[in-house]
Amino acid sequence: MANGHGGARPGSGAKRKPLAEKLLLGNPGRKKLEHLDFGEELKGQDMPEPKDYLAAKQRDGTPLKAREIYVEMWNWLNDRDCAELVNTQLLESYAMAVARWLQCEEAIDNFGFLSKHPTTGAACQSPFVAMGQSYRKQMLNIWFQIYQIVRENCSSEFGGHSLKDDPMEQLLTRRRP
């Protein structure tokens, strides 16, 4: 009763294994695997057209880069046969968060990390730093949602970086005699 209402806390318990890992191990739990198989009729499907606001003109006259990010991400999902599983609004939100984060990073490059306080005139942190951190956090949260969908439904190994594959991580976590 950690939250005062009884029952398991959300997110507690063993994490789900990826579908590709279950298939590789020969389905050790012997449960029916949840595998979304849409057949061959969806191969080569067209990408949903990105919304116009993903390429809107910015204040400085340059177009927002969210459209390019949307297309790149959709192609990545399509290569893994998971494009139809991810909601387009989730993909658009991810593209917008990445584009806004990149905008903040460019502003930091142009104006620096410090700014002048509006009332006291003293040096203070640039507002672009805090906004950039906020957009980066939002971007990572959405990315983890998308990655979870791909991880649970991709039947082949898609080459995502794993800490188990990192030699430094293996050195640091190995048991010592």
User: In the chain, where are the structural domains located?
Assistant: 62-156
**pLDDT classification of 163: cutoffs 50, 70, 90:** low
User: Average pLDDT for residues 123-133, to the nearest whole number?
Assistant: 91
**Long-range contacts for 130-135 (Cβ within 8 Å, ≥24 apart)?**
131/100, 131/104, 132/101, 132/104, 132/105, 132/108, 135/97, 135/98, 135/100, 135/101, 135/104
Give the helix/strand (H/E) hosting 161.
none
Residue 55 is predicted with a pLDDT of: 83
The average confidence (pLDDT) of the chain is 79
Q: How far apart are CA 33 and CA 26, in angstroms?
A: 11
Tell me the C-alpha distance between 142 and 132, whole Å: 15
Q: Quote the pTM value.
A: 0.65
Residue-level pLDDT at 156: 60
Residue 11's pLDDT is what? 72
Overall average pLDDT of the 97-118 stretch:
89
pLDDT mean over 76-88: 86
Terminal C-alpha separation, the chain? 39
pLDDT for residue 48: 77
Whether residue 166 has pLDDT greater than 80:
no
Question: Which residues fall within 8 angstroms of residue 132, CB to CB, at 6 or more apart?
Answer: 101, 104, 105, 108
Contacts of 173 (CB under 8 A, 6+ apart): none
Give the H/E segment covering residue 62: none
In the chain, the largest separation of any two C-alpha atoms, in whole Å, equals: 68
